[in-house]
Amino acid sequence: MSAETNPMTNDDIEECWREIGVSGDRSCPELDEHLHCRNCPTHAEIARKLLDRPLPPGYRDAWTRHFARPDDEAPDGEEIDSVLIFRIGEEWLGLPAAICREIAEPRPVHSLPHRRSEAVRGIVNVRGELLICVSLPALLGIGGTASSRGTDRIAVFPRLVVTGEETKHVAFEVDEVHGLHAYRAHERGAVPATVGRSAASVVATMIPWNGRAVGCLDATRLLDLIDRSIA
């Protein structure tokens, strides 16, 4: 949707990140501590104000027309999917956007009494809601935390990913979150035989991204695996 057709404007939002932040002249003194605007409390507060604003007239109708366009308006009429790309150890994975509920900063994980499962780490408090925290490395049989920095020397931060169905959420920890990524059907590739048995049962396809191979998780299989681990 272009700026001309989007009724939501940012005239009343102070976009400091575009002026003195990472998209500006980088003169903000807070960058010394937070390294990137997305880690700054001021940036988070501005985001909350943006989301809390009342919708302007015509906003819902404009976005409804945008998303209701027929498939043949997409390039070549090809199916497009979206995943949240994240890293665990050396592995890059994609979580279907449909079951991605929230990305949060790490929380203390409180162990559950009389529970000795590697797949269930404990419970975490996310905005007042107690969620079971599972270990994706244990569930998928992949390596744990590796280097926290890439070869490009960009600082990265661990995150807590909340996933699940509308009324049943769980959380898992990741070493780094890239963000949402859309890919087209022709980019899907077969899961290589080198992928472990546990991971292969959940990874539906592989896609290329930034010179890497990302294993896209199947939503139904992943949630079923999580349900079995906490049963």
Q: What is the pLDDT of residues 126-173, one digit of tens each?
A: 989 999 999 999 999 887 655 544 444 456 789 999 999 888 899 999
Q: Over 50: is that where the pLDDT of 178 sits? A: yes
Phi-psi region of 45 (alpha: psi -120 to 50; beta: other; left: phi over 0): alpha
Q: What is the pLDDT of residue 103?
A: 93
Q: pLDDT tens across 46-62, in order?
A: 877 777 777 777 777 77
Owner of token pair 């169905």: 165
Average of pLDDT values for 69-75?
51
CA distance 212 to 71: 28
72 pLDDT band, cuts 50/70/90, is: very low
Whole-model pTM: value is 0.65
Which of 225, 204, 228 has the alpha carbon at shortest distance from 215? 204
3-state secondary structure 157-205: CCEEEEEEECCEEEEEEECEEEEEEEEEHHHCECCCCCCCHHHHCCEEE
Look up residue 137 and give its two tokens.
């490395």
Which of 61, 159, 165 has the alpha carbon at shortest distance from 104? 159
220 pLDDT band, cuts 50/70/90, is: very high
Rounded to the nearest angstrom, the gap between the alpha carbon of residue 112 and the centroid of all alpha carbons in its chain is 26
4 pLDDT band, cuts 50/70/90, is: very low
Q: Supply angle C-alpha 100, 105, 106, rounded to 5.
A: 105
Q: Which residue has the higher pLDDT, 32 or 102?
A: 102
Rounded to the nearest angstrom, the gap between the alpha carbon of residue 62 and the centroid of all alpha carbons in its chain is 26
CA distance 18 to 223: 39
- State the burial class of residue 174 (Cβ atoms within 10 Å of its Cβ: 0-12, 13-18, 19+): buried
Q: pLDDT tens across 78-95, in order?
A: 788 999 999 999 899 999
Distance between the two ends of the chain, CA-based, in angstroms?
44
Q: What is the pLDDT of residue 132?
A: 94
The domains of the chain, with CATH numbers, are 16-69 (no CATH), 80-230 (2.40.50.180)
